[in-house]
Amino acid sequence: MNTYGLIAGLGSLLVIGLGFPLVIHGERIFGYVCWPYLMGLGILVMAASAAVSSSWVSMALGVVGATLVWGSTELKEQAVRAELGWFPFRKHKVKVPFADIIQRWKAPHL
């Protein structure tokens, strides 16, 4: 019996499920201006998945990288949801490097 698909699906579900709290807490602590760092990390992790020879590790890294890229596109929407009162809003956020420059960029959206 081949359980690769079942384990890969359950692992993907777990990683994607953990992406939601990452977006919620990431926006609460850093604000949406951390999106380039999250996207860059996701792209690096996906590139690393292509360089790994193990199918399991490659699949896990690919899902984690894609989840990070998705999370970077969700940060702006999460900021709007927090301002609407759907999630706790934290006024004083940790300032990330180059935040002034990043705020002038259009945040990505899927």
Give the per-residue pLDDT at 98.
83
> Is 43 part of a structural domain of the chain?
yes
How many Å from the N-terminal Cα to the C-terminal Cα in the chain? 37
Nearest CA among 62, 52, 93 for reference residue 75? 93
Cα 74 to Cα 25, 26, 34, 59, 109, distances in angstroms: 12, 11, 11, 22, 7
Give the per-residue pLDDT at 88.
81
> Is 107 part of a structural domain of the chain?
no
Q: Show pLDDT as tens, one digit a residue, over the chain (110 residues).
A: 788 888 888 989 999 999 899 899 888 988 888 899 999 999 999 999 999 998 889 999 999 999 999 999 998 888 888 888 888 888 888 888 888 888 788 878 76
Give the per-residue pLDDT at 7.
87
Give the per-residue pLDDT at 66.
93
Query: How many whole angstroms from its chain centre is CA 56?
Result: 21
Domain tally, the chain = 1
Give the per-residue pLDDT at 45.
95
Q: Which two tokens stand for residue 59?
A: 């699949």
Distance CA 68, CA 62 (A): 10
> Is 25 part of a structural domain of the chain?
yes
Nearest CA among 86, 106, 82 for reference residue 26? 82
> Is 52 part of a structural domain of the chain?
yes
Domain that holds residue 12: 7-102
